[in-house]
């Protein structure tokens, strides 16, 4: 079971240090834990979580080793920093920054080639679900990816991210089963995962963990979700 905290554009180095020092004190044996701070906070997270089983991952990565790509960061740079992995293709990257299935595939491939662990995000919008296009969207997003020992998928229905809406456990189980039939990889659930609903979601047979957004910013709530994973 894997619990990953996506901090998005929150927590600079000082807040990250405070959080990581607190996280070190938690008893989290029995669950794989990853924190994904912003780029500017990766170094302090790597330093303070060294010697623990808690991994540090980035929120994005570019497909080229180096070059004239202002604002981007390569997989080699992340590896040099001591970063373990990266999220790729989060719905916010697709929605606000023009990420496509093709660029997601290039980023995933480059990260895996460099030895990074990858959480590749997929999921449908509310409009796509209402048009009964969920399976078509997931099939398209998965078609550009290939199984890899270091690849994990995160199913994040866009309508459930930061909205307070959560997919029912039955819907999550159904979507994860469909995803696994298309691509052989563990699948995390992401979409308003909170301490109150984590246990019920993580008990579903096809759910291999969670990609946690807002609730990962608070040490107490993130720890509670990790403990729910241990006991599920």
Spell out the SS3 assignment of 100-134: CHHHHHHHHHHHHHCCCEEEEEECCCHHHHHCCCH
Confidence of residue 134 (pLDDT cuts 50, 70, 90): very high
pLDDT digits (tens, 9 = 90+) for 75-99: 999 999 999 999 999 999 999 999 9
Of the candidates 90, 109, 176, 206, the residue annotated as catalytic is 90
When pLDDT is averaged across residues 162-171 and rounded to a whole number, the result is 81
- Domain of residue 155 covers 2-231
CATH number, domain with residue 25: 3.20.20.70
Please state the domain count of the chain.
1
Task: Determine whether 156 is an active site residue.
Answer: yes
pTM of the model: 0.96
Task: Determine whether 90 is an active site residue.
Answer: yes
Three-class DSSP category at 212: strand
Of the candidates 92, 124, 156, 206, the residue annotated as catalytic is 156
Centroid of chain to Cα 74: 18
């Amino acid at each position: 079971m894997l619990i990953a905290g996506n901090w998005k554009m929150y927590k600079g180095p000082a807040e990250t240090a405070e959080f990581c020092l607190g996280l070190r004190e938690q008893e989290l044996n029995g669950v794989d834990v990853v924190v994904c701070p912003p780029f500017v906070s990766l170094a302090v997270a790597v330093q303070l979580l060294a010697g623990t089983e808690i991994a540090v991952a980035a929120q994005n990565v570019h497909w080229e080793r180096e070059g004239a790509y202002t604002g981007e960061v390569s997989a080699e740079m992340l590896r040099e920093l001591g970063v373990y992995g990266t999220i790729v293709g989060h719905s916010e990257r697709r929605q606000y920054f023009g990420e496509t299935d093709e660029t997601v595939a290039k980023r995933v491939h480059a990260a895996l080639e460099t030895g990074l662990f990858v959480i590749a995000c997929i999921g449908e919008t509310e409009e796509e679900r209402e048009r009964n296009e969920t399976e078509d969207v997931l099939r398209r997003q998965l078609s550009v990816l290939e199984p890899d020992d270091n690849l994990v998928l995160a199913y994040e229905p866009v309508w459930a991210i930061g909205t307070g809406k959560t997919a029912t456990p039955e819907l999550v189980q159904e979507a994860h089963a469909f995803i696994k039939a298309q691509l052989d990889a563990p699948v995390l659930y992401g979409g308003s995962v909170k301490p109150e609903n984590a246990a019920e979601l993580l008990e579903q047979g096809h759910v291999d963990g969670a990609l946690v957004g807002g609730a990962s910013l608070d040490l107490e709530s993130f720890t509670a979700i990790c403990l729910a994973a241990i006991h599920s």
